[in-house]
Amino acid sequence: MSLLADRLARVKPSPTMAITALATELKEAGRNVITLSQGEPDFDTPDNIKEAGIAAIRRGETKYTVFDGRIELKRAICQKFKRENGLDYEPSQISVSNGGKQVLYNALVATLSPGDEVVIPAPYWVSYPEMVLLCDGEPVPVACSQNNGFKMRPEDLDAAIGPKTKWLILNSPSNPTGAAYTERDLKELSEVLLKHPHVWVMTDDMYEHLVYDDFQYRTIAQVEPRLYERTLTVNGVSKAYCMTGWRIGYAGGSKQLIKAMGAVQSNSTANPCSISQAAAIEALNGPQDFIPKNNAKFKERRDLVVDWLNRVPGLHCPRPAGAFYVYPSCAGLIGKKTPKGETIASDEDFVRYLLEAEGVAVVHGTAFGLAPHFRISYATSTEELQDACTRIERACRALS
Ligand SMILES: Cc1ncc(COP(=O)(O)O)c(C=O)c1O
């Protein structure tokens, strides 16, 4: 009898981690490697938030809390949803977990039966299909082309929905493309969802605050109140508050679903870290003025990378509305030869060549379900981005 469960055979290890491991190997061998594959802000957690964590330790808040989050944090989350999204949730409609990732996973564990389908617009964050597979569900990827700004068209959503569809997972702004759905886009998708009352919506709003050029952020339950009852609005402090290591994510949704997610969590990890909960209260209730300051820097970096890559023959880089990723196409390089005579047959070949020839680590688009592209995270310093773009340009120009 095999030690490992059958379902594990369906799950791939994270491809972003594989690139990072290769980059680390090269670094250890003494190579100068620039890593643009990481999904976290390079900015430090703001001091007031750190201090709130330290104060919690000093006050002795070092014990178990309620398994799905302290009431003070749930209240702060309700206020955030009201203030920023116009959504009314009560504390009994809120679940707090160890990062947004656990929120999504709890919701899928709590709702998927074998064979249930989950519609996932592609390109997608790598963990969505893997989580669905771990829960014995079936991911249904829907290709969203660059021509439509990597956003799902209502007719494609309609065609993907069947009798077994349980969820649509929406992610705006998106990891890996940075694409963000406007109010109109969401309204159009809502029209389709209203026709299919058995489909629930999991909206991953993790990058909500990271939008540029006056983009007006909206979440789907706000745009279409008739979907409120069957929407799980997922968010967290990891990205906007530069708190990836603190591990706090949360969701607002129907009481029945939130209770079921709590049942999963109470029997697995129990409460998220008590100290991180205190820090998250400060993040949500405290000053928010560092967010536009960070965004101004992110926007500058986005423009630097987009403008540079669009001058490189063979690359085409759309300018996304949010997050800290760009998702250039490398279609113009497919079929070319490296100076060593190897053919670039896929985005995976290109990414490997870039790492080996110039020491730049990015992630191939195939990993995110739409090729031939690659993802760059620009959450790093301007100097490093300039160096990386110089190297990418040199690598592309060396192909023949
Ligand atoms: C789209 C998306 N959702 C969720 C997460 C997970 O966030 P957390 O670190 O809070 O678990 C990430 C992290 O990279 C992400 O990119």
Give, in order, the Cα–Cα distances in Å from 333 to each of 96, 173, 316, 372: 45, 27, 10, 9
pLDDT per residue over 304-332, tens digit each? 999 999 999 999 999 999 999 999 999 99
Specify whether the backbone of 62 is left (phi greater than 0), alpha (psi in -120 to 50) or beta: alpha
239 C-beta closer than 6 A to ligand 1: no
Residue 1 is predicted with a pLDDT of: 86
* Pairing, β 249-252 against β 94-97: antiparallel
Looking at residue 273, its pLDDT comes to: 98
Please give the single-letter amino acid code of residue 149.
Answer: G
Tokens of 137: 């569900």
Apex 120 CA angle, 114 and 134, nearest 5 = 35
Dihedral over Cα of 97, 98, 100, 103: its sign: negative
pTM confidence score: 0.97
Decide whether any atom of ligand 1 lies within 6 Å of the 202 Cβ: no
- Please report the atom of ligand 1 found closest to the CA of residue 237: 10
Predicted pLDDT at 352 = 92
Residue whose structure tokens are 């003070």: 72
Cα-to-centroid distance, 249 and ligand 1 (Å): 9
Q: How many other CB atoms are found less than 10 A from the CB of residue 52?
A: 21
- Characterize 254-280 residue by residue with b for buried, 16 or more Cβ atoms within 10 angstroms of its Cβ, and e for exposed: beebbebbbebbeeeeebbbbbbbbbb
How would you class 115 by CB atoms within 10 Å of its CB: exposed for 0-12, middle for 13-18, buried for 19 or more? exposed
Give the per-residue pLDDT at 287: 97
C-alpha 64 to ligand 1 mean position (Å): 24
pLDDT in tens, 361-380: 999 999 999 999 999 999 99
Q: From CA 348, how far away is CA 364, in angstroms rounded?
A: 5
Predicted local confidence at residue 116, as pLDDT:
98
Q: How far apart are CA 94 and CA 77, in angstroms?
A: 8
Q: What is the full per-residue pLDDT of the chain (400 aa) written as tens digits?
A: 889 998 888 887 777 777 778 888 999 999 999 999 888 899 999 999 999 999 999 999 999 999 999 999 999 999 999 999 999 999 999 999 999 999 999 999 999 999 999 999 999 999 999 999 999 999 999 999 999 999 999 999 999 999 999 999 999 999 999 999 999 999 999 999 999 999 999 999 999 999 999 999 999 999 999 999 999 999 999 999 999 999 999 999 999 999 999 999 999 999 999 999 999 999 999 999 999 999 999 999 999 999 999 999 999 999 999 999 999 999 999 999 999 999 999 999 999 999 999 999 999 999 999 999 999 999 999 999 999 999 999 999 999 9
Q: Is the CB of 39 under 6 A from ligand 1?
A: yes
For ligand 1, pick from 16, 108, 175 the residue to mutate: most ligand atoms within 8 Å of CB.
175
Ligand 1 test: best mutation among 20, 103, 206, most atoms within 8 Å of CB?
206
Q: Is the dihedral of CA 19, 25, 28, 33 positive or negative?
A: negative
- Cβ neighbours, 10 Å, residue 92: 12
Q: Could you tell me if 11 and 5 are in contact, meaning their C-beta atoms sit under 8 angstroms apart?
A: no
* Cα of 400 from ligand 1 centre, angstroms: 38
Ligand 1 centre and the CA of 206: distance in Å? 6
The C-alpha angle with vertex 311 and arms to 357 and 388, in degrees rounded to 5, equals 35
Looking at residue 328, its pLDDT comes to: 98
Enclosing H/E stretch for 374 = strand 374-377
Q: Distances in Å between the alpha carbon of 140 and those of 27, 101, 117, 157?
A: 37, 19, 6, 10
Q: In this structure, is the dihedral angle defined by the CA atoms of residues 115, 251, 324 and 382, taken in order, positive or negative? A: negative
Q: How far is the CA of 4 from the centre of ligand 1 (A)?
A: 27
Residue with tokens 């494609």: 156
Can you tell me the distance from the alpha carbon of 164 to that of 176, in angstroms, rounded to the nearest whole number?
A: 27
Alpha-carbon span 132 to 140, nearest angstrom: 10
The helix/strand/coil state of 77 is helix
| Residues paired with 235 in a beta bridge | 250
